[in-house]
Amino acid sequence: MNVVQSIADVRRIRRESGGSWGLVPTMGFLHAGHVSLVERARRENDFVGVSIFVNPTQFGPTEDLAAYPRDLARDLQLLREAGADLVWTPPVEEVYPAGFQTYVTVEEVTKPLEGAARPTHFRGVATVVAKLFNVFQPDRAYFGQKDAQQAVVIRQMARDLNFPLEVVICPIVREADGLALSSRNVYLTPEQRTAAPVLNRALRAARTAWEAGERDGEHLRQIMRAVLDAEPLARPDYVSAADPVTLQELGDAGRGVLLSMAVRVGRARLIDNVLLVNG
Ligand code: PAF
């Protein structure tokens, strides 16, 4: 496994390899969810590239950039075991050199949900992912469904900017009690960790109602809010039953719905979702 820092080295290895490449973009502090992306990329491509870069432009001024968890040695060990071929760990100046001033802005789908709470977040995500696509030039790029809005934004960007690659969205990986894996789960105290599966319980309650024929978007949101309200440690930012493509809130959820939420538990801001489609 090659571990490199410069764009020139990634490009050289990519050029000299021949064969198809899968890219797994990450911010490090890897868990089984990331490993599942690398394993899928391994199955579907000749070579697998991974980026580890805590991207400053997707953090707001009051967010956890400096404190974001990091453990490069452990990450590299996990990636070696999962069969990655190339890992790019650039310093910030390699990605954003002095004088950098070009950003990618995806419009409508970045406005609601996470975008409403984190107004500059998706500009940072779209910009760094566009750069990763240019540097690696992968045939396929792998992202988790856990960041459902991010998946929609990246698909939209790849389509709008004609990136010649396939965006592959992989299922959420969960703990046994239903908590979605996230690098930010380390912020939870034991008591908060016990409370955190409430997100999954709220989603499951709405899912059960939808599967039993409930199609009223507002009722689905109420069902989720009621479950969250019963957990004193959970402070919801938003609860949503939205169109899976436009991310607009639905009155009628008959043609499919993305149920999602962001909930503060202690200092962690947890997100989770379930995508329900007909047939
Ligand atoms: O999902 C993430 O970890 C990040 O948003 C990504 C896609 C690696 C961009 O920094």
Please compute the mean of the pLDDT values over residues 195-212 and round it to a whole number. Answer: 98
Please compute the mean of the pLDDT values over residues 81-89 and round it to a whole number. Answer: 98
Q: Which of 121, 129, 152 to mutate to test the pocket of ligand 1 (most atoms within 8 A of CB)?
A: 129
Picking from 58-67, 94-103, 236-245, which range would have the lowest pLDDT averaged per residue?
58-67
Question: What is the position in ligand 1's atom list of the atom closest to the CA of 54?
Answer: 10
- Dist CA 80 CA 2 (whole Å): 10
Contact 119, 60 (CB under 8 A): yes
The full DSSP string for 8-32 is: HHHHHHHHHH-S-EEEEEE-SS--H
What pLDDT band is residue 213 in, cutting at 50, 70 and 90?
A: very high
Residue 260 in 3-state DSSP?
Answer: strand
Quote the mean pLDDT of the chain: 97
Residues with catalytic annotation? 34
- pLDDT the model gives residue 242: 98
- pLDDT the model gives residue 64: 87
Please compute the mean of the pLDDT values over residues 54-65 and round it to a whole number. Answer: 95
Q: Rounded to the nearest whole angstrom, what is the distance from the C-alpha of residue 147 to the centroid of ligand 1?
A: 9
Q: Which amino acid is at 132?
A: L
Protein residue with its CA nearest to atom 2 in ligand 1: 26
What pLDDT band is residue 271 in, cutting at 50, 70 and 90?
A: very high
Protein residue with its CA nearest to atom 8 in ligand 1: 26
Task: Show the CA angle centred on residue 119, arms to residues 200 and 140, nearest 5°.
Answer: 65
DSSP state of 147: S
Question: What is the position in ligand 1's atom list of the atom closest to the CA of 147?
Answer: 1
What pLDDT band is residue 278 in, cutting at 50, 70 and 90?
A: confident
pLDDT per position as a tens digit, 216-263? 999 999 999 999 999 999 999 999 999 999 999 999 999 999 999 999
Is the confidence at residue 90, as pLDDT, over 80? yes
pLDDT per position as a tens digit, 117-162? 999 999 999 999 999 999 999 999 999 999 999 999 999 999 999 9
Nearest to 1 by CA among 41, 49, 44, 55: 49
What pLDDT band is residue 214 in, cutting at 50, 70 and 90?
A: very high
Is the confidence at residue 49, as pLDDT, over 80? yes
Protein residue with its CA nearest to atom 9 in ligand 1: 125
Q: Which of 57, 88, 92, 125 to mutate to test the pocket of ligand 1 (most atoms within 8 A of CB)?
A: 125
Protein residue with its CA nearest to atom 5 in ligand 1: 125
Q: Rounded to the nearest whole angstrom, what is the distance from the C-alpha of residue 104 to the centroid of ligand 1?
A: 15
Question: What is the position in ligand 1's atom list of the atom closest to the CA of 129?
Answer: 9
- pLDDT the model gives residue 185: 96
Please name the residue that has the structure tokens 């992968």.
138
What pLDDT band is residue 276 in, cutting at 50, 70 and 90?
A: very high
Is the confidence at residue 81, as pLDDT, over 80? yes
Question: What is the position in ligand 1's atom list of the atom closest to the CA of 132?
Answer: 9
pLDDT per position as a tens digit, 252-262? 999 999 999 99
pLDDT per position as a tens digit, 103-113? 999 999 999 99
Q: Rounded to the nearest whole angstrom, what is the distance from the C-alpha of residue 240 to the centroid of ligand 1?
A: 22
Q: Rounded to the nearest whole angstrom, what is the distance from the C-alpha of residue 51 to the centroid of ligand 1?
A: 9
- pLDDT the model gives residue 178: 98
Q: Rounded to the nearest whole angstrom, what is the distance from the C-alpha of residue 52 to the centroid of ligand 1?
A: 9
The full DSSP string for 148-215 is: HHHHHHHHHHHHHTT-SSEEEEEPPPB-TTSPBP-GGGGG--HHHHHHTTHHHHHHHHHHHHHHTT--
Retrieve residue 46's tokens: 């000749």
Residue list, ligand 1 pocket, CB within 6 Å: 25-27, 55, 58, 125, 128-129, 147, 150
Is the confidence at residue 279, as pLDDT, over 90? no
Helix residue ranges per DSSP H, 161-216: 190-195, 198-211
Q: Rounded to the nearest whole angstrom, what is the distance from the C-alpha of residue 98 to the centroid of ligand 1?
A: 22
Task: Tell me the domains of the chain and their CATH numbers.
Answer: 2-170 (3.40.50.620), 183-274 (3.30.1300.10)
Contact 277, 243 (CB under 8 A): no
**% residues pLDDT > 70 (the chain):** 100
